[in-house]
Amino acid sequence: MATIEDVARLAGLSRTTVSRVINDQPYVTEEKKEKIMDAMQQLGYVPNSSARRLRSQRTETIAVLLPRVTNPFFGHLIESMERKASEYGYQVIVCQTHDKKQKELDYLQLLKTKQVDGVVMASLTNDWDVIEPYLESGPIVLCNEYMDSDQVSMIHIDHRQASYDATAHLIEQGCTRIAYATGAQETHITRQRKEGFLQALTDFNLAFDENLEIRNALDVKDGQGVFSFLQEQEEKVDGIFTGSDEVAAGIIYAASQSGFTIPEDLAIIGFDNQMISLLMVPAITTVRQPVEEMAMKTIQVLVEKIKKEQPEDEQQIVYNYELIKRKSTERMSMKESASS
Amino acid sequence: MATIEDVARLAGLSRTTVSRVINDQPYVTEEKKEKIMDAMQQLGYVPNSSARRLRSQRTETIAVLLPRVTNPFFGHLIESMERKASEYGYQVIVCQTHDKKQKELDYLQLLKTKQVDGVVMASLTNDWDVIEPYLESGPIVLCNEYMDSDQVSMIHIDHRQASYDATAHLIEQGCTRIAYATGAQETHITRQRKEGFLQALTDFNLAFDENLEIRNALDVKDGQGVFSFLQEQEEKVDGIFTGSDEVAAGIIYAASQSGFTIPEDLAIIGFDNQMISLLMVPAITTVRQPVEEMAMKTIQVLVEKIKKEQPEDEQQIVYNYELIKRKSTERMSMKESASS
DNA sequence: TTGTAAGCGTTATCAG
DNA sequence: CTGATAACGCTTACAA
């Protein structure tokens, strides 16, 4: 591999001057500049990024922590983040935590060891006091996660309110015994959603049977399991709030094989407005999050923090969500609003 | 940030000895080792990876080039690759080419500038002679792509045969006028698939109407467009081969809204055995690729190449696929095999 | 078993 | 406008 030294020698100039050309700095005569360009061409010279990193203390790389890419919500998130980061000239490292605390910390280590300039946490399972020390090594921005701290910027929707609205909608459709399926470990987001869910029940004078809370429901397969669980219940469950369209789809799939009628026998609500929620028969009522905007904003905020010397005020940016009502909750008994 | 120098000073030893401890090398007394460990602890020392990279000429990072993460096939691919790479201690950089030649080359630049030790190409739109020179900078392994060259290892299924089988299946189900929808630009894979498709038609004495070839069909939305296109045809099309379950799902979705009956009016075949192919009504006949195995094998081969000094023989590893027959091609007229 | 010293390839400072 | 020279933080012969 040719180095800057080789180029300098071939061009009959110093490393400094070559460096100036590489970095588009002023104070180099056109003539010498051309000479250097020629030399670089001839040698097929490319600056070594490890050396640049060491010297400049910047990596132009961002780590994005998320549970798993195969969850379409996070797939979309990282797709947009990578695109945006790429525009800013940043690389993106995928860090799948699989909701494991240890994995999360391992990846945060990238910040400490200066392998990345900043971190996006779209997965947050550790307690804040464990995460906080990492802030010394570089900026962290939360996306789709919330933390009761004024030391980080956060980009998210109001999950509490969204799940309140969704639950209220189920109730308005005549559901009285509603189950609650949640994904993964308890994170702040899931706590918020649960709160909204419970609040809606309370406001409508309904009780929540703790036995109807299902944990670790993540994908279609889990959804099928959830359906079996619901079917086993002695007292009939007539509605379910799921934290994911995939789980909702799994329930519908299993239900249709058991001759169950959705939404008459069971009204179902999903989350995230994935393609699948539109394609299922019946189509799934869901909550749309502006994923792309959130992703791009997150990168923007992070990159700004990386570039600024003096720490700015942390921002908490709350995006609007939208409850999209579809057939999976449109119960005959109450002929209400519809579709899309 | 504490450096190795600081640790050495605090422990009253040399940088060399500290380095030995960091890298678990022998020839350090327990006593001194502990002293050093203590010092590292006290200072919160973490080795700076940029410096290590520069010195050791290795980055422990891999770039994975793919069209887009939101295509579930590639989502699964990168999910498995990241997991496997992480086991080997490697980071993964996501590189979405969006099927753009220039983007592909930009990302290959990561290899030249030594930002990554190796590259996985699961997206390959440039001609080989453009890619080849990059091999000088480090190993490249193709995954789900094929190239007529003995200079790279490739991991893939036999797309030609798979698409032959799929097409033959359509024909056996009584289809005689079959459309062909393909994704993105022309890559070697798409060429192979097209060949298999045409061969099957030929073998069964059917002609292919070039007007029935649809390009750039990538997702559900495109699938809806494909349906409109088919509907406009004067001569009725009774079968379609799509290169993607998403496109197939889009066609079914649009068809169901137009009162079309699948598969009686139109038999549809997808590709990749995504969850959606099972969930659609009717369920979609598709070709399963062993994504996870392919992903893990790819990383294994690449990491081995990175670690070996002397170049090994390039491997071409062909995995088995499986044609999964479901309702979307089960035509009454021919009461044949079924489901899953 | 430990330490010295020479880089790895860049960039920034400062003097010319 | 250009060029020495000194870092950046770490590893590794080689010497002791």
Does residue A333 surpass a pLDDT of 60?
Answer: no
> A336: pLDDT confidence band, cut at 50, 70 and 90?
very low
Look at residue A329 in the predicted model and tell me its pLDDT: 96
Q: Which CATH number do you get for residue A202?
A: 3.40.50.2300
Same domain, A45 and A69: no
The B 39-58 residues near strand D by Cβ under 7 Å are 45, 47-48, 51-52, 54-56
pLDDT tens per residue, range A51-75: 999 999 999 999 999 999 999 999 9
Q: Residue A289 has what DSSP assignment?
A: -
Same domain, B87 and B128: yes
Same domain, B190 and B269: yes
Nucleotides of C under 7 A from a protein CB: 1-5, 7-13
pLDDT tens per residue, range A129-166: 999 999 999 999 999 998 888 889 999 999 999 999 99
Which residues constitute the domain of residue B303? Answer: 58-158+290-320
Q: Give the residue, B148 or B224, on which the prediction is more confident.
A: B224
Lowest mean pLDDT segment, chosen from A73-77, A180-184, A276-280, B325-329:
A180-184
Same domain, A30 and A77: no
Model pTM? Answer: 0.93
Contacts of A1 in chain B (CB under 8 A): 114
Contacts of A219 in chain B (CB under 8 A): 275
Does residue A188 surpass a pLDDT of 90?
Answer: no
Same domain, B285 and B185: yes
Dmax (CA) of chain A:
88
Is A249 at the interface with chain B, CB within 8 A? yes
Same domain, B133 and B65: yes
SS3 A309: coil
Same domain, A264 and A276: yes
Average pLDDT of the segment spanning B171-194: 89
From A279, A318, A321, select the one nearest B253 (Cα to Cα).
Answer: A279
pLDDT tens per residue, range B269-314: 999 999 999 999 999 999 999 999 999 999 999 999 998 866 678 8
Same domain, A182 and A165: yes
Same domain, A183 and A233: yes
Look at residue A332 in the predicted model and tell me its pLDDT: 63
Look at residue B159 in the predicted model and tell me its pLDDT: 95
Q: Give the residue, B142 or A259, on which the prediction is more confident.
A: B142
Same domain, B205 and B330: yes
Does residue B184 surpass a pLDDT of 80?
Answer: no
Look at residue A310 in the predicted model and tell me its pLDDT: 64
If you count residue pairs, one on A and one on B, with CB atoms under 8 Å apart, how many are there? 121
* Intra-chain end-to-end CA distance of chain A, in Å: 58
Nucleotides of D under 7 A from a protein CB: 1-13
Contact between A167 and A195 under an 8 Å Cβ cutoff? The reply is: no
Contacts of A13 (CB under 8 A, 6+ apart): A32, A35, A36
> A259: pLDDT confidence band, cut at 50, 70 and 90?
confident
Number of folded domains that form chain A: 3
Q: Give distance CA A24 / C1' D4 (Å).
A: 21
Q: Which CATH number do you get for residue A44?
A: 1.10.260.40
From A159, A156, A178, select the one nearest A167 (Cα to Cα).
Answer: A178
> B149: pLDDT confidence band, cut at 50, 70 and 90?
confident
pLDDT tens per residue, range B62-112: 999 999 999 999 999 999 999 999 999 999 999 999 999 999 999 999 999
Same domain, B141 and B67: yes
Same domain, B66 and B145: yes
Alpha carbon A110 to chain centroid distance? 19
Average pLDDT of the segment spanning A162-184: 94
